[in-house]
Structure 1
């Protein structure tokens, strides 16, 4: 049986190593937390400027950097406004026969893939159709130019077939195709446009 003194001596190095490992773990944890809070640069300090040698005071963000950020924000705002100016919004009315409205709804749950691709290729964007119970349809679409978008899709094979099948659902077409009978509405208000005007200093 080993003597108590030898047993204690054999345990001491292991205990010391455990304590040293615990201290190192706490230091690493503190160091990472300080980096996360911006108290220490992510790359750490060089050997010439360790924190316990020459502490580096925290510096406030320089005014020129704030000005650069503001300029970037203004550029993004102008870019967004330019994109909106280039992209026009259109709203139109059509009317389907009330007794065929449910069937018309069902057909638009399964629009042909070739028709969807033809619309997108012709420049129809964010295109939606809404319906009331009496058969009134309200359509919304964004395009660079609606007339050009209509002309681009008019004679495609998918559109010719689609319009031929859709015609029977509508009323008031006067022997025209549905896509030739859109009753366009005038836009009188847009929230995003007016908010952008306020941010850009253009009060209504």
Structure 2
């Protein structure tokens, strides 16, 4: 199993942040199916202020390129992404059009 950590910012508006969190309490079933269908085994999203932190655990066969292709071909995913962009904004340093950005692991403790 492989773990990825990604970051994204929300628009810094308490009303929009509350709406975003509410929407994530009942994520559309088609979105959940798309996530698991791409080989993502587990996903968690955390928030501090307007900064989001996502942890994804994926199988050995997972590919970001494959996931992006699947998402581009899925009308429901495109609808969800368009809706989510109302709440989201790129983190400083993200490339144009980039949403979630990969974070670099700088420490690991194994006991």
TM-score, L = length of structure 2:
0.78
* Deviation for aligned residue 1:111: 0.7
The structure richer in helix per residue is 1
State whether structure 2 residue 28 is matched by structure 1 residue 103. no
> 1 or 2 for the larger relative contact order (CA 8 Å, sep ≥6)?
2
Structure 2 residue ranges without an equivalent (≥5)? none
Q: Which residue of 2 aligns with 1:90?
A: 4
Structure with more of its chain in strand, by fraction: 2
In 1, distance between residues paired with 2:96 and 2:81? 12
Count residues with an aligned counterpart.
103
**d(CA) in 2 for partners of 1:137, 1:146:** 19
Match of 2:41 in 1: 125
Asked if structure 2 preserves the Cα contact closer than 8 Å seen for 1:90 and 1:146, the reply is no
CA deviation vs aligned residue, 1:159-187 (integer Å, no higher than 9, x gap) = 111001111111238873xxx42211112
CA, structure 1 residues 175+187, in 2 after alignment: closer, same or farther (shift >3 Å)? Answer: closer
**Does residue 138 of the first structure (1) align with residue 56 of the second (2)?**
no
Q: Which runs of 5+ in 1 are unaligned?
A: 1-86, 196-204
Measured on the aligned residues, the alpha-carbon RMSD in Å equals: 2.2
How far 1:150 moved relative to its partner?
3.3
Tell me what 2:67 maps to.
Answer: 149
- After TM superposition, the score normalised by the length of structure 1 is 0.45
